[in-house]
A and B are shown apart, each in its own frame.
Chain A
Amino acid sequence: MSKERIKISEDLYDIMPSDYQDLVKSATYGKEDRGWKDIGTSKELIEQHSLCAGCPESMAFRYILASLPNPEDTVMVGSTGCTSLVFPMVAVHNIHSLFGNQNAIASGLKRALSVRFPDRTKDVVVLAGDGATVDIGLDMTLQAWFRQEKFTTICFDNELYANTGGQESGLMQKGFVAKMAPVGKLFDKVRLPEIARESGCHYVVQCTVSKPSVIEKVIRNAVFVAREIGPTYLQLYTPCILEIGKNSMEGLQEMRDSEKPTERFAYKEYVSEPAKQLLAEIAAKDKERKAAAKQLAGQA
């Protein structure tokens, strides 16, 4: 797991577009403690996107891609929605599934990768919107959890169908009036984090993407737990600023307002006992490694 497998042929190096040369020279593939702090100093695995200016989803993408512990051996599965506009610009293997099928595709993919590469750690991460995860794809989402499939499901929750003009979704809050849902939502927001816990997910977090350090922590935890134990689920609030009537620069404040302890996106975390044990072991190893590195730096 390193950059060794990502080398440009020497005789054709000069004709490669600079984006690819930069990926080889300064991206963080293979770096053990890669994280959000690499943003701005290393080549990012997403450099441009076609989302709206100021879209919190683009922040979420950057933090997630910077935090994946094993990007060169990760396959992401996307679904229809705003995220599908971004995946073509991402330097991580990815598959676009049919709307709602993402967890079924990921199940097969994870199993196939385990058979094809038994000696290599391969992570599968689903990233889809709330329509794909909770409405159209709920069957596939739940069945994957029931079967204890070992991959991470990330839901970008913007509380409606954003790129089709603002229709009501299961994760929309009660009473909200959207452009294409003029009556207002009549029932409560689906409590998917609780459903995920009851369905067998070993690590479940609901939060906003206002804090990159939090995103880094939960992404790494979710991937590690999925790798060793079973399904994990992250529900990240990425408000659609256009559909809730905000300006480009107001996305961050919207997330901060929504994550207060009494609000609907207050940080929520469920960790199963085996996952707690695993995360404690990983934390201890990390601590040991950092102490050793510090000692080595001191000697130098």
Chain B
Amino acid sequence: MSDYRVLPGPEHFLPPAAASMGIRLPNPGEAHINGVIVSEEKAYEEAAKQFLMAKVPTLFPGPLVLWAWNENAAKKATAIRHLYNTLKECVQPGQKPMLIPMPDYRPKYPKINPEVEINPNHPNLTIWHNKIDCCMFIGVHCHQANLSLKIIRGGTSCYTIAMCAQAGHEDAMLSFRDASVEKIMKLADWVRKLKGTVQPRLTSAKSGASN
């Protein structure tokens, strides 16, 4: 197994793809934390902890759930809204959960509005602007998620979680695979379960900013 660990950055300008550093994807029923394969249960707990510790825990729903292109997509959107509402209920004063969409993958030059959306080609702008220190990608096509996760790891100190509907993401600090409505709801249950047991890092100097 590789000694490399997928940790919050800023790693450097061009962080290596975690796969090229020997990180492998989890099998069904597993997840990974920092590149180490763990059981899915452990990943739920860790993801919930990271959300509850963060100053600005944020969900980034992508086109696969923002657009109701089939019935399951709409159901996932409902589950994501439930997770966001749960986060809002469970955080302490001073913490600010956010729900920011990634509607599509257009580079959108000359600018995007980082207050209302995230763009996979420069996700760091939204993370810096909102001082996001923990985020979860969900419903983002894998190739765009990989690109974004690497940029985030390269230029920010944000903790990244991927709720991937396929085989997971090496480039996230924590990755689930085979995302479903049930898994999103289960993560919300874990957040509720750990409510009040995790100390938020409200006074920590560590933020989403790269400096």
Q: Which A residues fall within an 8 A CB radius of B?
A: 5-12, 15-17, 20, 50, 85, 88-89
Contacts and interface: CB of A to CB of B under 8 A. Distances in A.
A5 B65 CA distance: 14
13 contacts: A6-B67, A10-B78, A11-B74, A11-B78, A11-B80, A11-B81, A16-B101, A16-B103, A17-B101, A17-B103, A50-B109, A50-B110, A89-B109
B107 interface: yes
B57 interface: no
Given A17-B103, A17-B113, A17-B116, A12 B108 contact: no
Contacts of B113: 17
Contacts of B147: none
Interface residues of B, number: 25
Given A15-B100, A17-B117, A9 B106 contact: no
Interface string B73-113: 11011101100000000000000000111010011111001
B77 A20 contact: no
Interface of B: 61, 65-69, 73-74, 76-78, 80-81, 99-101, 103, 106-110, 113, 116-117
Contact of A9 (B68, B99, B110, B116): B68
A256 B155 CA distance: 51
Q: What 3 pairs between A and B have smallest CB-CB spacing?
A: A9-B77, A11-B81, A11-B77
A12 B61 contact: yes
Given A5-B69, A10-B74, A15 B106 contact: no
B87 to A, nearest CB: 14
A88 B73 CA distance: 25
Give the dominant DSSP class at A's interface.
Answer: helix
A89 B101 contact: no
Nearest to A24: B67
Given A6-B67, A10-B74, A15-B100, A88 B106 contact: yes
B99 A15 contact: yes
Contacts of B80: 11-12
Which of B67, B110, B117 has the most C-beta atoms of chain A within 10 angstroms of its own C-beta? B67
A85 B108 CA distance: 9
B110 to A, nearest CB: 5
B143 to A, nearest CB: 15
Contacts of B61: 12, 15
B65 A9 contact: yes
A83 B100 CA distance: 30
A180 B93 CA distance: 62
Contacts of B73: 9
A7 B103 contact: no
A21 to B, nearest CB: 10
Contacts of A8: 66-68
A177 B112 CA distance: 39
Which of A7, A20, A88 has the most C-beta atoms of chain B within 10 angstroms of its own C-beta? A88
A93 to B, nearest CB: 10
Nearest to B113: A17
Which of B76, B107, B109 has the most C-beta atoms of chain A within 10 angstroms of its own C-beta? B109
Contacts of A16: 66, 101, 103
Contacts of A9: 65-68, 73-74, 76-78
Given A7-B68, A16-B103, 18 more contacts: A5-B69, A6-B67, A7-B67, A9-B68, A9-B77, A10-B78, A11-B74, A11-B77, A11-B78, A11-B80, A12-B61, A12-B65, A12-B77, A15-B116, A17-B103, A17-B117, A50-B109, A88-B106
Nearest to B66: A12
Contacts of A12: 61, 65-66, 77, 80-81, 99, 101
A7 B69 CA distance: 7
Contacts of A85: 109
B76 to A, nearest CB: 8
A27 to B, nearest CB: 14
Given A16-B66, A17-B116, A88 B108 contact: yes
Contacts of B99: 12, 15
Contacts of A5: 69
